[in-house]
Amino acid sequence: MTTSSALSRRDVVLGAGVAAAAVAVAGCSTYGADPAAPADPTPGGAEPGAPAQALAKAADVPVGGGVIVGDTVVTQPTAGTYVGLSATCTHAGCKVTKVQDGGIDCVCHGSRFALDGAVLKGPASKPLAAKAVRVEGGSIVAG
C-alpha cells in the first residue's frame, strides 16, 4: 500500500478541468471517515513551506472521504489516490456542502455523488466535473 508521502505524479488522478480556483480557499470544510479525528483548526491551510497554491495537506484528506476547499472537492477514494472535482453541483449549480459516508452531498435538492464524482442519486444526472490535482511536498495542489 502506498502512503501519501510516497506518491508519484502517476498516483494522483488528474482531472480534465482547469484548476483556476486554487486560491479560493474560503469556506473550507473537512469531513472524513473517522468522526473521532480532531478537527484541524486550519483545514486546507498551507503549512509553512507548503506550495503556495496548496488546496490541502494530503494527510488531511481521509481515505474514503474528502475535503471541500473553495470551489474544489479533493477526495481520496483509495489510499494514495487523490481526485479533484468541481464543488459545483451539476443539477442546478449549488455548491456541494458535505463529504460524508463515502459520498459527496448537495443539500439543495439531495443529489449525491461518489468520491470520483459519479452520480449516486439525482436529481443531478451528470458527474461532478474533474479538476486536476497532484501531490507536491505532502500537499494537494491544483494542476
Count Cβ atoms below 10 Å from residue 101 Cβ, excluding itself.
11
Number of residues that bind ligand FES (CB under 6 A): 12
Binding residue for ligand FES (CB under 6 A) from 12, 73, 124, 133?
124
Name which of 68, 91, 64 is nearest 21 in CA terms: 68
Q: Which DSSP state fits 48? A: T
If one asks whether residue 118 binds ligand FES (CB under 6 A), the answer comes out as no
Applying the rule CB under 6 A, the residues between 58 and 117 that interact with ligand FES are 89, 91-94, 106, 108-111
Q: How far is the CB of 128 from ligand FES (least distance, A)?
A: 10
Nearer to ligand FES, 37 or 109 (CB): 109
Q: For the chain, how long is the longest CA-to-CA vector?
A: 42
Nearer to ligand FES, 12 or 124 (CB): 124
Residue 124 Cα distances to 7, 26, 85, 97, 137, angstroms = 33, 25, 15, 15, 35
The residues of the shown chain that bind ligand FES, judged by CB under 6 A, are 89, 91-94, 106, 108-111, 123-124
